[in-house]
Structure 1
Amino acid sequence: MDPILYATADNPVPENHLAGFFEGRGGVKIRYAVFRSKAREAKGTVVLLQGRSECIEKYYETIGDLTARGLWVATFDWRGQAGSGRFVSGSRAGHVDRFADYEADLSLFLEQIVLPDARLPFFIVAHSTGALVALSQAPQLENRIERMVLASPFVALGGQSMSQRQIGIIAHLASLTGFGKRTFRKGDPPLGFADNVVTSDARRFARNAAIYAEHPELSIGWPTARWLNETLRAMARVTHQDHLTRIRIPTLLLCPTADPLVPRKAVGDLARIFRAARLIEIDGARHELFQEADRFRAQALAAIDAFIPGSDADDTSLGA
């Protein structure tokens, strides 16, 4: 029987877990795992939401950090990537038909896996696109999720040769004219450490590269036009004041200041109008905070320690 989770030489599967598949919206096969803490009394469960192009295996180290703190971790691969169902035949392109499908899968995961099998209270720790999904779904999560930590929330698109507006127009037109499953770029994303913009840590970069080298079925290529169109529309919606006013879950925004993919200004602008949120900037860090060098990653984990499960002393300043 093929394993559900994969290990590499320097990235063993954490112990004390269960893994499987559930049906997402439309019957899409979604891979998930729940990791239990060895602590006698669990402090709760972190619902860990990945970014685009990531997989459960990439978060083993972070999962170990969280379970060592007495927290369970429940996580899954987004549709269209890693060990979940794909949508573009003969291609590794990252695709989604509707951004709402991500939200529906998160709701089903909470209902079918987390609520029955994990330990209360529930928290969200999300990265990049996962943070965008959490922001979008947050008004409906108030009675389920106690607090959220959003790292490098994907609320704007930086580091591109065209403006976000230009990309949005082209992606929208491609989606309307039957080219939604096409990508704007050919070939594969660059794989070398020297070319990467997401982490300054060579060891963690090599560890993650080995996961995809040994298990290429987990890897993903460039996003499709439809994915870009749906994601850019979600960005516009969740950064609107009306939407943010509806979010009452105390939220911590972690912003790496050297992130070229999500502009620092965009996260700062979000924090200024997001009453339930507090912003912490991590100076010099790049996009993937949980894959970064120890000096940056330790700051992110310390912020989580101070916020989850959270102290009564902080509640008033977070609008709780």
Structure 2
Amino acid sequence: MEPAPLHSLANGPESGAAFWLRAQDDVRLRMAYWPGGAKGTVLLFPGRTEYIEKYGPAALELGARGFSTVTLDWRGQGLADRLLPNGTVGHVESFADYQRDVTALMDAVADLGIGQPLFLLAHSMGGAIGLRALTTGLPVRAATFSAPMWDIRFPPFLWPVAWGLSAGSRALGLGARFAPGTAGESYVTDIAFDDNALTNDPDMYAWLRSHIRDCPELALAGPSLGWLHEALREGRALSRLPSPGLPALTFLGGAETIVSPGAIRNRMRRWPGGRLHFLPGVKHEPMMDTPATRATVFDETAALFGAQT
């Protein structure tokens, strides 16, 4: 593995390092490893639009609680290969391709001799990728999910419109176009703090904005119609699968407007050994919310993982 850039704006542990990976279909990915935890290693699966540097503070929090952290840039975002000529469009040909990224990451974990046991911490789109990986044998002892994208939130009357439009776009060769209502620039630079759906913490939002200002190559805009269709298909497919047989904790904010709270509640009701923690007033990103919320997320995550060591 060749070294890759890890920008200092991550504000993560000083011991961190990044590497280039290659998926089986030759897409270049980027991973980061922050070592130091004696209790094991957390595989941190980011959401759509996200990138390694965003989770430097999470690696600090996990490190303070005894865990190392491994994370990555999924294909099509961060510094991984973008999949369209217009690299600002969030796109994937198939959600199954993200499992190629998981395989590449797990191969790197083995090659680097990263400390065991392993645990999963997955946010939003990473929650969909993580749940799928768990059903095919991802070797972790427990999992925490933050606002997992087990379905996308739409008003009921818009569901058939979203499904029909996204499916039709693929059939007509228009899957690379932006999904209607999404912007052609990064969410955090396009939306003012007072109107944002991500966090209640103005300092955190300003920090996220500074990333795009200082490293514009990290920016990703709205999803493609093709990505939307694949996300809807994956949500439907995941809903039909049984829950994995390992301990799990899921955080859901009371002000969630991006992913489907109903899909999250339905999943956790049928997850033996699973627990749903409802966070009143919290938006889509509990790990990026106020200090009190962040402490709750990382304390409870560390308690769950620590109980499995």
- Calculate the TM-score normalised by the size of structure 2: 0.92
What is the Cα deviation at residue 13 of structure 1? 4.4
Which amino acid counterpart does residue 27 of structure 1 have in structure 2?
D
| Counterpart for residue 51 of structure 2 | 55
CA distance in 1, matches of 2:62, 2:85: 37
For the pair 1:123 / 2:123, whether they are aligned, the reply is no
Question: Is there any run of 5+ residues in structure 2 with no aligned partner, and where?
Answer: none
1-structure distance, mates of 2:231, 2:142: 23
Distance change >3 Å, CA 167–CA 120, structure 1 → 2: same
Q: Over aligned residues, Cα RMSD in angstroms?
A: 2.0
Q: Is the 8 A contact 1:6 1:13 kept in 2?
A: no
Alpha-carbon distance, 1:159 to partner: 5.6
Could you say which residue in structure 2 is the equivalent of 1:291? 288
Equivalent residue number for residue 187 of structure 1? 184
Contact 1:138 1:249 in 2 (8 A): no
- Alpha-carbon distance between aligned partners in 1 of 2:154 and 2:229, rounded to the nearest angstrom: 17
CA 1:3/1:99 → structure 2, altered by over 3 Å: closer, same or farther?
closer
1:212 equivalent in structure 2: 212
Q: Answer yes or no: is the 8 Å Cα contact 2:4–2:18 preserved in 1.
A: no
Q: How many angstroms apart in 1 are the aligned matches of 2:55 and 2:197? A: 19
Q: C-alpha displacement at 1:196, in angstroms?
A: 0.9
State yes or no: 1:109 paired with 2:108. no
Q: Partner residue of 1:225?
A: 225
Q: Which moved more, 1:175-184 or 1:44-53?
A: 175-184
CA deviations over 1:209-262 (Å, ceiling 9, x no partner): 10111101001011001111111111111111xx124x2122111111211112
CA contact (8 A) 1:131 1:150 kept: yes
| C-alpha distance in 2 between matches for 1:145 and 1:162 | 39
Counterpart of 1:310, as a letter, is A
Which residue identity is paired with 2:93? D
Structure 2 residue aligned with 1:270, among 267, 271, 289?
267
Residue in structure 2 matched with residue 99 of structure 1 by the alignment: 95
Q: SS at 2:277's partner residue?
A: strand
1:258 matched to which residue of 2?
255
SS at match of 2:135: helix
By how many angstroms is 1:45 displaced? 0.4
Aligned 8 A contact 2:149 2:260 in 1 = no
- The CA distance in 2 between the partners of 1:29 and 1:212, in whole Å, is 21
- Report what 1:316 is aligned to: none
Further displaced range: 122-131 or 180-189: 180-189
- Which residue of 2 is the match for residue 5 of structure 1? 6
Kept in 1: contact 2:252–2:277 (CA 8 A) = yes
Corresponding position of 1:166: 161
CA distance in 2: counterparts of 1:126 and 1:155, whole angstroms? 12
Confirm or deny: 8 A CA contact 1:121 1:145 kept in the other structure. Answer: yes
Deviation at 1:15, TM superposition (A): 0.9
Separation in 2, partners of 1:23, 1:149: 27
* Distance apart, 1:280 and its partner CA: 1.3
Partner Cα separation in structure 2 for residue 67 and residue 78 of structure 1:
23
2:29 aligns with 30
Counterparts of 1:81 and 1:275, CA distance in 2: 34
Q: Report the secondary structure of 2:121's partner residue.
A: strand
SS in 2 for 1:20: strand
Q: SS of the residue aligned with 1:104? A: helix
Which segment is superposed worse, 248-257 or 170-179?
248-257
Asked whether the equivalents of residues 40 and 67 of structure 2 are also in contact (C-alpha less than 8 Å), the reply is: yes
Q: What is the Cα deviation at residue 3 of structure 1?
A: 6.5
5+ residue gaps in structure 1?
Answer: 313-320
Corresponding pairs, count: 302
Matched position secondary structure for 1:48: strand
- Report if the CA contact (8 A) 2:142-2:308 is conserved: no
Q: Quick check: 1:310 aligned with 2:295?
A: no
Q: Give the direction of change, closer, same or farther, for the CA distance of 1:162–1:60 in structure 2 (3 Å limit).
A: farther
